[in-house]
Amino acid sequence: MSENLMDKVFSLCKRRGFIFQSSEIYGGLSNAWDYGPYGIELKNNVKRSWWRSSVYERDDVLGMDASILMHPKVWEASGHVENFFDLKSDCKSCKKRFKASDLKDPRTCPECKGELTEARPFNLMFKTYQGPVEDAANLIYLRPETAQGMFVNFSNILDSRHPRLPFGLAQIGKAFRNEITPGNFTFRTREFEQMEIEYFVRPLDADAKLREWIDYRFGWYTGLGINKDNLCKREHLKNELAHYAKACTDIEYKFPFGWSELEGIANRTDFDLKQHEKASGRDLRYFDDASKERFYPYIIEPSGGVDRSVLAFLVDAYNEEKVKDDIRVVLKLNRELAPTKVAVLPLLRNRPEIVELARKLAQDLKKSFITVYDDTGAIGKLYRRQDEVGTLYCLTVDVQSLEDKQVTVRFRDTMQQERIGIDKIKQYLAEKLS
């Protein structure tokens, strides 16, 4: 299965409404994806879990949401205007563009064997214009990362919330990079969503806090069901580090296309605050009441991708099991991430009294759990459909339910069934899903 696992996950995503190619009816837009009904629920569950773990369950992290459009000087100060580029070559024959670092032969096109141009630098930021006039004075960028929004709000947070070191700012938001993408489904796209924390610490504490965050973030993935054997921590070599970083460790996942980064945890030192203070003229030092010192905190940055995390959870949860003469496909997603918790299924859709009871039960359960009602097929087909989307519990309303007021409860992972009274089903599910 591992050889074509990515194809199977891709097929499941389209078939069951997780992820579709953007603008598909017009031929699609490469490396752009739309999340369908189940996909958006899974994606939102990932974000909710991250937010709870990173903000609600901690006393030292505050949430915020910065604007996508920021003053152009932000990107000058951060170094993105000058340094954020890839070297790329164009094929003179087929006109395709390639990253120079991906080419085995810098002179020959890997697609058509035509001649390549000399590698030239291309800035990765998307440019647009603010206002009705498209001129240099109105040039503005779509942010290539969410981090800078937290750095430029550092003094606002100090003045409004008065946090003491160490403390962090957390943000989930869209970012945009106009880069060449390899086509590994949603792993790398030009429009993507980040989950980032900027954690401000005393310089002497930075190394220890970096290690703490690496372990904390690794535990988040395993706590949500990712197989530990499919994760690793990879420390960057000195020649891999960004110009602002003292150290960085990636949490990588073993995708079908190889080990690739899910999240990076970096020690950004005090580079960002110093740069923005220099460019803006605002004092961005931290004042310590006890020691009466002013200094620039170091910044520990855990930065992960929402879309990459969703893809990793999908791949890791995908299972095929032989059941009699059939292959059962099941997404064994963690209960916190499963898009749907409960499905209510009438055994006989041509019996109005069974359908009415099933619909009434589903409507009641929706007040407490993410619940769907489905009567569009035979019960075996309905079970398989719910298995494929990761639904945890299927409740079947049958003829006997009309008499004994009980339903058959089927658990996704074991397919075991038991009869539970309708008046006790809420309590049963609450205990199982808590």
Q: Which of 180, 178, 174 is nearest to 192 (CA)?
A: 174
The whole-angstrom separation of Cα 42 and Cα 50 is 12
- In this prediction, residues 197-214 reach a mean pLDDT of 98
The listed CATH number (3.30.930.10, 3.40.30.10, 3.30.300.20, 3.30.300.30) that belongs to domain 2-68+145-314:
3.30.930.10
pLDDT at 283: 96
- The H or E element spanning position 430 is helix 425-433
pLDDT tens string 359-393: 999 999 999 999 999 999 999 999 999 999 999 99
Query: Is pLDDT above 80 for 241?
Result: yes
pLDDT tens string 134-179: 888 899 999 999 999 999 999 999 999 999 999 999 999 999 998 8
Query: Is pLDDT above 60 for 402?
Result: yes
**Domain residues of the chain, as ranges?**
2-68+145-314, 340-433
Q: Which of 67, 302, 291, 273 is nearest to 155 (CA)?
A: 273
- In this prediction, residues 6-13 reach a mean pLDDT of 94
Q: The tokens of 171 are what?
A: 């943000």
pLDDT at 2: 59
Tell me the pLDDT band of 122, cut-offs 50, 70 and 90: confident
Beta-carbon contacts of 304 under 8 Å, excluding residues fewer than 6 positions away, are 50, 194, 195, 196, 217, 251, 262, 263, 264
Residue tagged 């309905």 (tokens): 382
- The H or E element spanning position 5 is helix 5-15
Query: Is pLDDT above 80 for 123?
Result: no
- In this prediction, residues 217-244 reach a mean pLDDT of 95
Q: Which of 193, 196, 227, 218 is nearest to 33 (CA)?
A: 193
Of 100-104, 337-341, 393-397, least confident by mean pLDDT is: 100-104
The residue that leads in pLDDT, 8 or 101, is 8
Residue tagged 């100060």 (tokens): 77
Beta-carbon contacts of 150 under 8 Å, excluding residues fewer than 6 positions away, are 64, 66, 169, 171, 196, 198
pTM, 2 dp: 0.91
- The H or E element spanning position 41 is helix 37-51
The residue that leads in pLDDT, 243 or 276, is 276
Q: What dotted CATH number matches 340-433?
A: 3.40.50.800
CA geometry: angle at 32 spanning 27 and 37, to 5°? 95
Query: Is pLDDT above 70 for 62?
Result: yes
The residue that leads in pLDDT, 240 or 311, is 311
- In this prediction, residues 26-39 reach a mean pLDDT of 93
pLDDT tens string 338-366: 999 999 999 998 899 999 999 999 999 99
Where helices occur in 197-351 by DSSP H, the ranges are 206-223, 271-280, 306-317
97, with CB counted inside 10 A (0-12, 13-18, 19+), is middle
The whole-angstrom separation of Cα 326 and Cα 396 is 21
The residue that leads in pLDDT, 399 or 98, is 399
The residue that leads in pLDDT, 88 or 197, is 197
Percent of the chain with pLDDT over 70: 99
The residue that leads in pLDDT, 233 or 434, is 233
pLDDT at 181: 67
Does this chain's domain 2-68+145-314 share its CATH topology with 340-433?
no
pLDDT at 25: 93
- In this prediction, residues 65-73 reach a mean pLDDT of 96
Query: Is pLDDT above 80 for 1?
Result: no
Percent of the chain with pLDDT over 90: 82
Q: What is the three-class DSSP state of 81? A: helix
Query: Is pLDDT above 90 for 243?
Result: no
The whole-angstrom separation of Cα 152 and Cα 279 is 11
- In this prediction, residues 119-124 reach a mean pLDDT of 82
pLDDT at 133: 83
